Amino acid sequence: MFLNEIIIAGFGGQGILSAGRLLAYAGMLEDKEVSFLPSYGPEMRGGTANCMVVISEQAIASPVLNSCSALIVMNNPSLEKFENWVKPGGVIITDSSMVHTKTKRTDIKVFEIPATQLANEFGNKTYSNIYLLGKLINETGCVKPENFEKALYGILSKKRHYMIPEEMEVLKVGMNY
């Protein structure tokens, strides 16, 4: 059964919530059931931020997760907080420019991508989340890359649409990293 329960976590400002919204939007375009639950309040303004995304073929029981099939982490505290939430056989993807500790889990797949460094080298540090989403999409098949592109067009304001070809380039780098 197709069920992706995804947690994305890091600092406010790293594009955590945008990443989650993009996945949910792309899932909607595939006629899947989707939910997106952000952390809110002071956390959004520089503290830790996280969101929970469910993409499923069946009606979603709860948007509130207590475990997940895939985890993207963009800082150390988030790895500590969520690493034990990942179900055996699941996936952890870390931004290794920001996360310097290693997970103790051995029953899951771990991918370390220096996303912040890659984004800085590319020339736009706001793309770091896209590298990680690329890996997620490649590993889980939660949404198709072409629908992710449509989601970018759907969510970004028109004045930012010029960035989308670059972002898709970055996504592909992440997918194949």
Site residues (CB under 8 A) for other proteins?
21, 24-25, 28, 33-38, 40-42, 60-64, 66
CB of 177 to other proteins, least distance (A): 28
**How many Cβ atoms are within 10 Å of 65's Cβ, its own excluded?**
17
Please check whether residue 58 is in contact with residue 48, taking contact to mean a CB–CB distance below 8 angstroms.
no
Q: Least distance (Å) from other proteins to the CB of residue 84?
A: 13
Question: What's the closest the beta carbon of residue 38 comes to other proteins, in angstroms?
Answer: 6
Burial (0-12, 13-18, 19+ Cβ within 10 Å), 46 = exposed
Tell me whether residue 3 or residue 173 sits nearer to other proteins (CB atom).
3
| Closer residue to other proteins in complex, CB, 113/143 | 143
Determine the longest span between alpha carbons in the chain, in angstroms.
Answer: 44
- The least CB distance from residue 119 to other proteins, in Å, is 25
Give the DSSP per-residue string, 87-108: EEEEEEEEETTT--S-----SS
Query: Could you tell me which of 121, 75, 66, 125 has the C-alpha nearest to residue 101?
Result: 75
CB of 64 or CB of 106, closer to other proteins: 64
Residues near 129 by beta carbon (within 8 Å), at least 6 away in sequence:
8, 14, 15, 16, 18, 19, 72, 74, 115
| SS3 category, 7 | strand
CB of 105 to other proteins, least distance (A): 19
Residue (64 or 162) nearer to other proteins, CB: 64
Nearer to other proteins, 33 or 112 (CB): 33
